[in-house]
């Protein structure tokens, strides 16, 4: 169980919206703490990376995710594979077309020999075929002898194909990143296709061997500069017989260029994404790290000030409760905590001051009595003074024990375990005992309790203390012939216990003051017996149980408020 005051954040928020909480308002311009905090904020600017580990972390993690993504894309190189496949199928089709051209030139009958030029002018046919610049065409006969080879030239008359231009955008940044990437890639995969330094013709010839057997061959190799070349060899058939082989090699490095362009685009995107990500991270960091560091700074400023200079500057936690996130919650919780702490501290200070004040009176009286005793000669005088001293000592004793009870109450209320008990049984015991005392004084004592038990949750001994207080007060204010009535009723989820008397009542302006500590307004004779703590303690106990207690005067409803009351009534309401 917890009887400690709960910090209600929502209440805080409401108060703020209604502009009721004065002095706690964060935007209040005056105050040392405020100005220091604002100065700190200005120094910090939008976000300070070197002073905010949280901001650094946010940015680093965001960048790390980004780098891993891009490195993965570049490393797995998915576009290269599909480009290679496309280029290879294209080249195979090209080679087969060229082979078809040769086949179409061959005469239907008569001797045909590629090497000797019987039946076909291989050279003229080969030269008639337009190849892209740098691509090479080889024709081998069945003995793997090279019959002819041509290289694609940059022919001025070649028509440019509209729509085929590739815009090759690269920036300094992407060039640098590309170079960096190529450096890393060569480190990571040094054996990526051995740069065997094949002469292109060798590559074509190797393939030709397989193609002579009747199957189209394809291979990727690297030229002397290490650039990728594709080579395809496909047989030329005549009447079902392989006559020779057409081998076509692609332009060296063609695919590498394409891949580089693709990579550059990825890197451009990467650069943009990094800029965006850093920007977003900064915004994110500023919305998380800045308010947190404000909160921390506010708490630190307060601590500093109190410890060193004993400056009364209060800790002012920034009010971020308008934020619908955890930081808003944290700010609200911290504000609530600080407010509760100050309330507690002030309460304790007030209590200590009150205690000192209350103890001073009997002490002063004691001192003067002792002083007079020294010079008193007559025995009856001495006896009187001794009586005074005895009275003061008893009063002090009572005060001190009441005070120590009251000061322990808070922590004990939190510690003790709530139990369910029958309130009526407890009231029955108390009224029986105090009823006798009242009757001994000539006061009528009436108790009117329902028959059915009323079971409530709480600290039985503490609540008993409340009712003993109320009833003894009532009895003490009654003279002979007066009456005290105690009654209780249960209503839905509440139970009311009322203690009424026909005594003098309470001055109207004191109806709430009677619950203040050390407030005691009694006829002179009773002074000293009462510390004025009873009702304060009672109120504390009742409120810790979630209940209410109030005092009122008994008057006919139509009576003038200034008329003499018929008595006092104390009402305690408790939740069932
Ligand atoms: N039944 C009552 N009738 C009139 N005044 C009362 C009654 N009960 C309490 N009071 C007033 O409230 C004051 C505070 O009561 P309490 O806190 O119990 O302190 P104490 O009993 O020590 O005076 C009393 O001194 C008295 O002035
Ligand atoms: Mg009392």
Q: What CATH number is given to the structural domain containing 141?
A: 3.30.450.20
Q: And the tokens for 72?
A: 């993965």
Query: Which pLDDT value is given to residue 12?
Result: 42
221-229: average pLDDT: 77
Q: And the tokens for 222?
A: 């690297």
Q: Which of 127-131, 143-147, 175-179, 484-488 has the weakest average pLDDT?
A: 175-179
Atom of ligand 1 nearest to the CA of 503: 3
Q: pLDDT digits over 54-113, tens only?
A: 888 888 888 898 889 888 888 887 778 888 888 889 999 999 999 999 888 888 777 778
Confidence of residue 296 (pLDDT cuts 50, 70, 90): confident
Tell me the residue range of the domain where 496 lies: 417-576
Q: What is the dihedral of CA 104, 108, 111, 112, to 10 degrees?
A: 10
Query: Which pLDDT value is given to residue 192?
Result: 47
Is residue 142 one of the residues assigned to a domain? yes
Distance 537 CA to ligand 2 centre (A): 10
Mutate to test the pocket of ligand 1, among 535, 536, 542, 572 (most ligand atoms within 8 A of CB): 535
Nearest CA to ligand 1 atom 9: 473
**Rounded to an integer, what distance in angstroms lies between the CA atom of residue 269 and that of residue 69?**
12
Query: Which pLDDT value is given to residue 413?
Result: 86
Question: Nearest 5°: phi and psi at 438?
Answer: -60, -45
Answer whether residue 277 shows pLDDT above 70: yes
**Rounded to an integer, what distance in angstroms lies between the CA atom of residue 457 and that of residue 548?**
15
Confidence of residue 419 (pLDDT cuts 50, 70, 90): very high
**Which ligand has the nearest atom to the CA of 505?**
1
Confidence of residue 253 (pLDDT cuts 50, 70, 90): confident
Q: Is 540 in the pocket of ligand 1 (CB under 6 A)?
A: no
Q: Is 519 in the pocket of ligand 1 (CB under 6 A)?
A: yes
Distance 462 CA to ligand 2 centre (A): 15
Query: Which pLDDT value is given to residue 355?
Result: 87
Query: Which pLDDT value is given to residue 438?
Result: 94
Domain boundary residue, one of 188, 217, 252: 252
Query: Which pLDDT value is given to residue 5?
Result: 44
Q: And the tokens for 144?
A: 């793997």
Question: Nearest 5°: phi and psi at 515?
Answer: -90, 0
Query: Which pLDDT value is given to residue 9?
Result: 42
Query: Which pLDDT value is given to residue 190?
Result: 52
Query: Which pLDDT value is given to residue 402?
Result: 85
**Which ligand has the nearest atom to the CA of 536?**
1
Output the domain CATH number for residue 475. 3.30.565.10
**Rounded to an integer, what distance in angstroms lies between the CA atom of residue 536 and that of residue 358?**
15
Confidence of residue 23 (pLDDT cuts 50, 70, 90): very low
| 3-state secondary structure at position 449 | coil
Is residue 423 one of the residues assigned to a domain? yes
Q: And the tokens for 391?
A: 């009275």
Query: Which pLDDT value is given to residue 209?
Result: 87
Q: And the tokens for 9?
A: 């954040």
Answer whether residue 310 shows pLDDT above 50: no
pLDDT, greater one: 11 or 360:
360
How many domains in the chain?
A: 2
273-302: average pLDDT: 84
467-489: average pLDDT: 95
pLDDT, greater one: 133 or 542:
542
Domain boundary residue, one of 219, 252, 285: 252
Atom of ligand 1 nearest to the CA of 514: 12
Q: Is 137 in the pocket of ligand 1 (CB under 6 A)?
A: no
- Pick from 344, 415, 357, 406: which is nearest to 537 by CA? 406
**Which ligand has the nearest atom to the CA of 499?**
1
Q: Which of 100-109, 260-269, 391-400, 526-535 has the weakest average pLDDT?
A: 526-535
> Please, is 564 exposed, middle or buried when counting C-beta atoms within 10 Å of its C-beta (0-12, 13-18, 19+)?
exposed
Atom of ligand 1 nearest to the CA of 530: 22
Is residue 324 one of the residues assigned to a domain? no
Confidence of residue 157 (pLDDT cuts 50, 70, 90): low
Count of beta carbons in the 10 Å neighbourhood of residue 550: 15
Q: Which of 31-45, 120-134, 205-219 has the weakest average pLDDT?
A: 31-45
To which residue do tokens 């005074």 refer? 388
Q: Is 501 in the pocket of ligand 1 (CB under 6 A)?
A: yes
**Rounded to an integer, what distance in angstroms lies between the CA atom of residue 553 and that of residue 561?**
10
**Rounded to an integer, what distance in angstroms lies between the CA atom of residue 93 and that of residue 85?**
12
Mutate to test the pocket of ligand 1, among 474, 475, 514, 517 (most ligand atoms within 8 A of CB): 514
Q: Is 477 in the pocket of ligand 1 (CB under 6 A)?
A: yes
Confidence of residue 569 (pLDDT cuts 50, 70, 90): very high
Atom of ligand 1 nearest to the CA of 536: 17
Domain boundary residue, one of 203, 231, 252: 252
Is residue 273 one of the residues assigned to a domain? no
Q: Following DSSP, what letter does each residue of 108-127 receive, concatenated?
A: SSS--BTTTTBTS-HHHHHH
Q: How many residues does this entry show for the chain?
A: 576
Q: Is 515 in the pocket of ligand 1 (CB under 6 A)?
A: no
Helices (H), 309-422: 326-375, 379-415
Query: Which pLDDT value is given to residue 178?
Result: 76
Confidence of residue 37 (pLDDT cuts 50, 70, 90): low
pLDDT, greater one: 178 or 71:
71
**Which ligand has the nearest atom to the CA of 477?**
1
Q: What angle do CA 554, 556, 562 make, to 5 degrees?
A: 75
Query: Which pLDDT value is given to residue 200?
Result: 80
Confidence of residue 142 (pLDDT cuts 50, 70, 90): confident
Query: Which pLDDT value is given to residue 195?
Result: 41
Phi-psi region of 555 (alpha: psi -120 to 50; beta: other; left: phi over 0): beta
Is residue 538 one of the residues assigned to a domain? yes
Mean pLDDT, rounded, of the chain: 82
Distance 472 CA to ligand 2 centre (A): 7
Q: What separation in angstroms does the CA of 256 have from each of 161, 225, 227, 232, 271? A: 22, 12, 7, 18, 22
> Please, is 388 exposed, middle or buried when counting C-beta atoms within 10 Å of its C-beta (0-12, 13-18, 19+)?
middle
Q: What separation in angstroms does the CA of 389 have from each of 370, 378, 454, 531? A: 7, 17, 47, 17
């Amino acid at each position: 169980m917890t009887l400690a005051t709960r910090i209600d954040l929502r209440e805080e928020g409401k108060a703020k919206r209604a502009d009721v909480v004065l002095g706690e308002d964060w935007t209040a311009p005056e105050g040392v703490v405020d100005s220091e905090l604002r100065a700190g904020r200005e120094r910090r600017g939008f976000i300070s990376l070197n002073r905010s580990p949280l901001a650094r972390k946010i940015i680093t993690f965001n960048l790390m995710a980004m780098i891993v993504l891009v490195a993965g894309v570049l490393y797995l190189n998915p576009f290269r594979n599909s480009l290679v496949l496309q280029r290879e199928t294209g080249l195979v089709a090209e080679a087969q077309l060229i082979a078809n051209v040769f086949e179409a030139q061959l005469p239907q009958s008569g001797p045909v020999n590629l090497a000797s030029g019987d039946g076909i002018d291989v050279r003229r046919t080969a030269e008639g075929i337009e190849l892209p610049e740098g691509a090479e065409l080889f024709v081998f006969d069945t003995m793997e002898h090279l019959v002819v080879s041509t290289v694609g030239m940059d022919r001025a008359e070649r028509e440019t194909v509209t729509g085929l231009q590739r815009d090759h955008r690269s920036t300094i940044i992407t060039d640098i990143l590309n170079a960096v990437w190529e450096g890393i890639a060569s480190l990571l995969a040094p054996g990526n296709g051995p740069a065997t330094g094949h002469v292109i013709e060798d590559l074509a010839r190797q393939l030709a061997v397989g193609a002579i057997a009747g199957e189209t061959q394809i291979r990727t190799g690297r030229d002397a500069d290490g650039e990728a070349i594709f080579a395809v060899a496909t047989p030329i058939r005549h009447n079902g017989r392989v006559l020779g082989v057409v081998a076509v090699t692609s332009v060296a490095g063609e695919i590498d260029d394409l891949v580089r362009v693709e990579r550059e685009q990825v890197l451009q995107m990467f650069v943009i994404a990094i800029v965006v990500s850093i920007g977003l991270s900064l915004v994110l960091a500023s919305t998380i790290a800045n308010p947190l560091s404000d909160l921390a700074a506010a708490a630190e400023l307060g601590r500093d000030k109190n410890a060193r200079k004993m400056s009364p500057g209060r800790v002012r936690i920034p009010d971020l409760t308008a934020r619908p996130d955890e930081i808003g919650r944290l700010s609200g919780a911290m504000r609530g905590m600080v407010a509760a702490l100050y309330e507690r501290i002030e309460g304790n200070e007030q209590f200590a001051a009150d205690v000192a004040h209350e103890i001073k009176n009997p002490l002063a009286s004691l001192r003067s009595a002792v002083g007079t005793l020294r010079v008193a000669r007559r025995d009856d005088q001495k006896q009187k003074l001794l009586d005074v001293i005895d009275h003061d000592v008893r009063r002090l004793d009572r005060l001190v024990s009441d005070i120590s009870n009251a000061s322990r109450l808070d922590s004990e209320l939190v510690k003790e375990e709530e139990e369910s008990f029958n309130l009526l049984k407890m009231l029955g015991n108390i009224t029986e005992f105090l009823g006798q005392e009242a009757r001994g004084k000539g006061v009528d004592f009436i108790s009117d309790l329902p028959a059915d038990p009323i079971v409530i949750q709480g600290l039985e001994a503490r609540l008993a203390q409340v009712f003993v207080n109320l009833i003894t007060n009532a009895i003490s204010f009654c003279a002979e012939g007066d009456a005290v009535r105690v009654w209780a009723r249960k209503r839905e989820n509440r139970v009311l216990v009322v203690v009424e008397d026909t005594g003098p009542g309470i001055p109207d302006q004191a109806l709430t003051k009677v619950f203040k500590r050390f407030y005691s307004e009694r006829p002179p004779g009773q002074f000293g017996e009462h510390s004025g703590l009873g009702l304060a303690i009672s109120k504390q106990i009742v409120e810790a149980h979630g209940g209410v207690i109030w005092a009122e005067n008994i008057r006919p409803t139509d009576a003038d408020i200034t008329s003499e009351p018929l008595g006092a009534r104390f009402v305690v309401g408790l939740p069932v």
